[in-house]
């Protein structure tokens, strides 16, 4: 009886269907897994090169400054989290509205990143001294340099999620992978000669490149959808 019930409830066809569905889910999830791996590599490259080429003290100064920047990254995450479901809905229903909403959110986040960066630059000295005291004075200059990545990081947050909303997460993953490669190149070129300043400049340059790459991908996708609807 037990064998009969089992064979009725779990036929070979259902097993095959389950395997196909699982394969589809795995295929969908793969770009996100790869993006996560690239992100981990990207976020550790500067520390790896600093550890290899510079002193432990410089690594500590750089880390102190970057943690302040990292703490501000919740802002674009919060904004994009609220906008993402709407972008996903509008991409196929109304590409024009999708583009308009992406542009408006991008403008808001870039301006917000610029304001946060400007505020942090103006108060970088008291921020470092309050949080870390006088022995971390070299972190003040590094914090000021890293602030220039904020407008681009804030903008990249919406660009990357707009690509995902457009069902083109592979392009978002590709951008993160290219960013990891570019950051490694910039770190290798700048850190041996410029130290922690070079690491900070490498981060800024990588975020600028990522913004250009993601923006180009997104424009291409939106244009392709508009052309397919007009034809």
Is residue 179 situated within a structural domain? yes
pTM of the model: 0.82
Number of structural domains in the chain: 1
Q: What is the pLDDT of residues 148-194, one digit of tens each?
A: 999 999 999 999 888 888 888 888 888 888 999 999 999 999 999 99
Residue 132 has pLDDT above 70, yes or no: yes
Is residue 181 situated within a structural domain? yes
- Maximum C-alpha span of the chain: 78
In order, the DSSP letters of 13-54 are: HHHHHHHHHHHHHHHHHHHHHHHHHHHHHHHHHHHHHHHHHS
Is residue 191 situated within a structural domain? yes
Q: Residue 133: its pLDDT value, please?
A: 81
Is residue 24 situated within a structural domain? no
Is residue 171 situated within a structural domain? yes
Is residue 17 situated within a structural domain? no
Is residue 61 situated within a structural domain? yes
Q: What is the pLDDT of residues 69-79, one digit of tens each?
A: 999 999 999 99
Q: Residue 15: its pLDDT value, please?
A: 43
Asked whether 206 and 191 are in contact (CB, 8 A), the reply is no
Note down the domain range covering 50. 40-230
**Of 11-15, 31-35, 45-49, 129-133, which gets the smallest average pLDDT?**
11-15
Average pLDDT of every residue of the chain: 84
At 43, list the tokens. Answer: 């976020």
Name the residue with higher pLDDT: 210 or 35: 210
Is residue 97 situated within a structural domain? yes
Banded pLDDT at 20 (limits 50, 70, 90): low
């Amino acid at each position: 009886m037990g064998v009969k019930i089992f064979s009725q409830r779990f036929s070979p066809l259902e097993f095959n269907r389950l395997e196909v569905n699982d394969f589809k889910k795995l295929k969908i999830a793969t770009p996100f897994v790869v993006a996560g791996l690239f992100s981990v590599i990207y976020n550790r490259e500067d520390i790896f090169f600093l550890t290899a080429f510079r002193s432990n003290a410089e690594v500590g100064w750089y880390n102190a400054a970057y943690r302040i920047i990292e703490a501000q990254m919740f802002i674009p995450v919060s904004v994009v989290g609220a906008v993402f479901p709407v972008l996903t809905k509008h991409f196929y229903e109304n590409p024009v509205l999708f583009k308009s909403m992406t542009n408006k959110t991008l403008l808001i986040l870039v301006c917000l990143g610029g304001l946060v960066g400007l505020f942090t630059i103006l108060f970088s000295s008291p921020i470092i001294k309050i949080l870390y005291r006088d022995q971390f004075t070299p972190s003040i200059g590094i914090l000021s340099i890293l602030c220039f990545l904020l407008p681009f990081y804030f903008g990249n947050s919406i660009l990357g999620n707009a690509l995902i909303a457009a069902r083109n997460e592979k392009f978002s993953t590709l951008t993160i992978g290219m960013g990891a490669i570019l950051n490694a190149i910039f770190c290798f070129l700048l850190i041996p000669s410029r130290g922690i300043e070079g690491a900070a400049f490498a981060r800024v340059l990588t975020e600028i490149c990522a913004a250009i790459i993601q923006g180009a991908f997104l424009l291409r996708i939106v244009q392709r959808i508009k052309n397919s609807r007009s034809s």
